[in-house]
Amino acid sequence: MFRVKHSHILPLVFCIIFLTLFLLVQARGHSHTEHKHSHSHKYSKTPKHAPPSPPHDYNNASCIFDVRNFGALGDGKTDETESFKMAWDTACQSESSVNVILVPQGFSFLIQSTIFTGPCQGGLVLKVDGTLMPPDGPEYWPKNNSRHQWLVFYRINGMSLEGGGLIDGRGEKWWDLPCKPHKGPHGTTPPGPCDSPIALRFFMSSNLTVRGLWIKDSPQFHFRFDGCRNVHIESIYITAPKQSPNTDGIHIENTNDVKIYNSVISNGYARKILLIIPHVRLLHQCIINLFAELSSIGDDCVSIGSGCYDVDIKNITCGPGHGISIGSLGNHNSRACVSNIMVRDSLIKVSDNGVRIKTWQGGSGSVSGVTFSNIHMVSVRNPIIIDQFYCLTNECTNKTSAVHVSNISYTDIKGTYDIRSSPMRFACSDSVPCTNLTLSDIELLPEKGYMVDDPFCWNAYGDLETLTIPPVSCLLKGTPQSVLEHDITRC
Ligand SMILES: *[C@@H]1O[C@H](CO)[C@@H](O)[C@H](O)[C@H]1NC(C)=O
Ligand SMILES: *[C@@H]1O[C@H](CO)[C@@H](O)[C@H](O)[C@H]1NC(C)=O
Ligand SMILES: *[C@@H]1O[C@H](CO)[C@@H](O)[C@H](O)[C@H]1NC(C)=O
Ligand SMILES: *[C@@H]1O[C@H](CO)[C@@H](O)[C@H](O)[C@H]1NC(C)=O
Ligand SMILES: *[C@@H]1O[C@H](CO)[C@@H](O)[C@H](O)[C@H]1NC(C)=O
Ligand SMILES: *[C@@H]1O[C@H](CO)[C@@H](O)[C@H](O)[C@H]1NC(C)=O
Ligand SMILES: *[C@@H]1O[C@H](CO)[C@@H](O)[C@H](O)[C@H]1NC(C)=O
């Protein structure tokens, strides 16, 4: 339901005035000179506006393979898959230490679902300064192509995906398929498979860097890394509107040594409104805050699946969306092991969750050694949450085994929460309690009105290192004997 509360009228008026002023200034600017562009949005790098990149960024041993030299036109209509494959194969077989596949600025390239396979002779750089996009929706997706993935990088050691360009997943027609949640007749969800492609998938690869790109509107997850090692993601920008189901920003699984730094992920913003003013950051903020009330469909900013360890996430801005998640783990009675995860110096805004650990009943293994530190929350529904009763169908039964959640530290988590739910929730399994949860410097205030609920704990053991706001009195002291004896929690 769309309803604007009284408390929203003032900011709405403010937004409208701001928008009007902005459009006026913009119109005037354009009448003076065609080539002057607003740079108020730091990430508004529509390729044709971006400054040309210097042709020789790389050392003298590098080779540059421009996809246009392999027949690609860059008109945004022609299928260029074959040209990209040729460019890839040539670069991959080149013995130079760095081989750059250049997707030039000012051009749009349409390519179909493709697996780019290694290993390659030297290091590879896929430098996207223009735009890359898939066919526009399921109707144009070739029948014999995978509907699970679009661009796949497989068995590559040493690759960088970078540039000042755009990867446009064109997901809208996939999100609107009748099989998607609530898209059926009268808001129903018809059963059956509803595959939609992941935009970028790295599989069984190592020494990967992703840097500088804007990735938007994936049909499903924007990035998925599975079976990878040594992954560094830096300064990327991911956007998708709120009506986009299951469009996690970055999902990692069975992947270790991961660094995600200095990036912005917003996969739940209000689509219709932002279409008018896609590139103005201040307005994004203004409107995003205004629509905090409407719960988002978007999805996780970063999700960490089973088999991940040594993950460092620093200085990222998440939201609107579902926040940062570890899980869901232990689905179909599976064993999950996740350890040594650090999330620090970040901002989570207008999200259903802040930092979340979610596991299914019946799993085994453990999540251990997780630190959430210096995280600012703005209007988040569940800023701190452990949910060991995760279930999508309302038909899950309680089981006697669970993924053990232990050694989780929350320090310096401040900001505001949306009062529809309790700001802290530790709902741990009946049979396998959470242990050694530590809280310090927590200060979470209701966004407006008064706190309604106390923090919630169920079978959660841990300590407060400082007083918290709101006060937490429900954590159990010590370590339960039962957990120490459990074999199922070993990893
Ligand atoms: C690269 O080439 C330029 C001129 O061709 C030369 O001046 C420079 O020293 C070379 N750099 C390296 C690292 O070899
Ligand atoms: C799909 O079919 C087209 C045309 O029939 C063919 O050229 C292409 O190689 C096929 N692709 C795959 C992945 O089988
Ligand atoms: C991958 O990274 C590891 C560790 O940094 C390094 O030892 C190895 O040489 C790298 N391999 C390639 C192909 O870059
Ligand atoms: C944090 O990331 C933003 C980009 O989202 C960047 O502008 C800023 O400089 C980064 N801050 C630090 C301290 O690196
Ligand atoms: C599972 O256990 C939790 C905690 O004891 C309880 O709140 C919940 O209702 C149970 N669910 C089912 C389906 O029995
Ligand atoms: C509790 O967890 C922290 C890390 O979160 C760890 O440093 C500490 O040693 C753990 N304490 C116990 C008793 O396991
Ligand atoms: C928690 O941390 C302590 C100290 O670092 C370690 O001994 C213990 O094994 C950890 N617990 C789990 C379940 O990994």
* pLDDT at 441 exceeding the cut of 80: yes
Of all protein residues, the one whose alpha carbon is nearest to atom 12 of ligand 7 is 368
* pLDDT at 17 exceeding the cut of 70: no
Regarding whether 221 and 345 lie in a shared domain, the answer is no
Domain assignment of residue 38, yes or no = no
Regarding whether 258 and 232 lie in a shared domain, the answer is yes
* Atom nearest to 59 CA in ligand 1: 13
Helix (H, G, I), strand (E, B) or coil at 31: helix
Cα–Cα nearest to 46, from 237, 292, 308: 237
**Ligand 3 pocket, 118 CB below 6 A?**
no
Cβ distance 294 to 347 under 8 Å? no
List residues near ligand 4 (CB under 6 A): 262-264, 315, 317
What pLDDT is recorded for position 46?
41
Q: State the Cα–Cα distance between residues 220 and 195, nearest whole angstrom.
A: 9
Regarding whether 342 and 263 lie in a shared domain, the answer is no
Which structural domain range is residue 86 located in?
Answer: 45-185+194-322
Regarding whether 421 and 304 lie in a shared domain, the answer is no
CA 63 / ligand 1 centre spacing (Å): 14
Cα–Cα nearest to 324, from 292, 337, 334, 308: 308
Domain assignment of residue 14, yes or no = no
CA 234 / ligand 6 centre spacing (Å): 30
pTM equals 0.84
Nearby residues of 79 by Cβ (< 8 Å), 6 or more positions away: 110, 111, 112
User: 244-290, pLDDT tens digit by residue?
Assistant: 888 999 999 999 999 999 999 998 876 544 444 444 444 544 444 44
**Among 297, 322, 347, where does a domain finish?**
322
Taking all residues of the chain, what is their mean pLDDT, rounded to a whole number? 85
Give, in order, the Cα–Cα distances in Å from 465 to each of 409, 412, 436, 440, 472. 10, 11, 12, 5, 11
Q: What CATH number is given to the structural domain containing 295?
A: 2.160.20.10
Cβ distance 393 to 361 under 8 Å? no
Regarding whether 351 and 251 lie in a shared domain, the answer is no
Regarding whether 387 and 302 lie in a shared domain, the answer is no
Give, in order, the Cα–Cα distances in Å from 486 to each of 60, 270, 386, 437, 491. 58, 46, 20, 18, 11
Mean pLDDT of 225-247: 95
Helix (H, G, I), strand (E, B) or coil at 386: strand
Cα–Cα nearest to 358, from 411, 299, 311, 413: 299
**Ligand 3 pocket, 121 CB below 6 A?**
no
Domain assignment of residue 18, yes or no = no
Regarding whether 381 and 286 lie in a shared domain, the answer is no
* pLDDT at 116 exceeding the cut of 80: yes
**Ligand 6 pocket, 409 CB below 6 A?**
yes
Domain assignment of residue 1, yes or no = no
Number of compact structural domains in the chain: 2
Nearest 5°: phi and psi at 427? -100, 95
Cα 360 from chain centroid (whole Å) = 21
**Among 322, 339, 364, where does a domain finish?**
322
Domain assignment of residue 85, yes or no = yes
Regarding whether 451 and 306 lie in a shared domain, the answer is no
Among 127-136, 184-193, 197-206, the minimum mean pLDDT is found in: 184-193
User: 356-398, pLDDT tens digit by residue?
Assistant: 999 999 999 999 999 999 999 999 999 999 999 999 877 889 9
Cβ distance 170 to 134 under 8 Å? yes
Domain assignment of residue 40, yes or no = no
**Among 267, 298, 322, where does a domain finish?**
322
User: Would you name the residues annotated as active-site residues?
Assistant: 322
User: 335-353, pLDDT tens digit by residue?
Assistant: 999 999 999 999 999 999 9
Regarding whether 360 and 287 lie in a shared domain, the answer is no
Regarding whether 236 and 132 lie in a shared domain, the answer is yes
Of all protein residues, the one whose alpha carbon is nearest to atom 14 of ligand 4 is 262
Domain assignment of residue 378, yes or no = yes
List residues near ligand 7 (CB under 6 A): 366, 368, 406-407, 436
Cβ distance 307 to 255 under 8 Å? yes
Domain assignment of residue 29, yes or no = no
* Atom nearest to 144 CA in ligand 2: 1
Q: Measured between alpha carbons, how far apart are the two ends of the chain, in Å?
A: 45
Of all protein residues, the one whose alpha carbon is nearest to atom 1 of ligand 1 is 60
Regarding whether 481 and 348 lie in a shared domain, the answer is yes
Nearest 5°: phi and psi at 430? -65, -40
Regarding whether 386 and 445 lie in a shared domain, the answer is yes
CA 148 / ligand 2 centre spacing (Å): 16
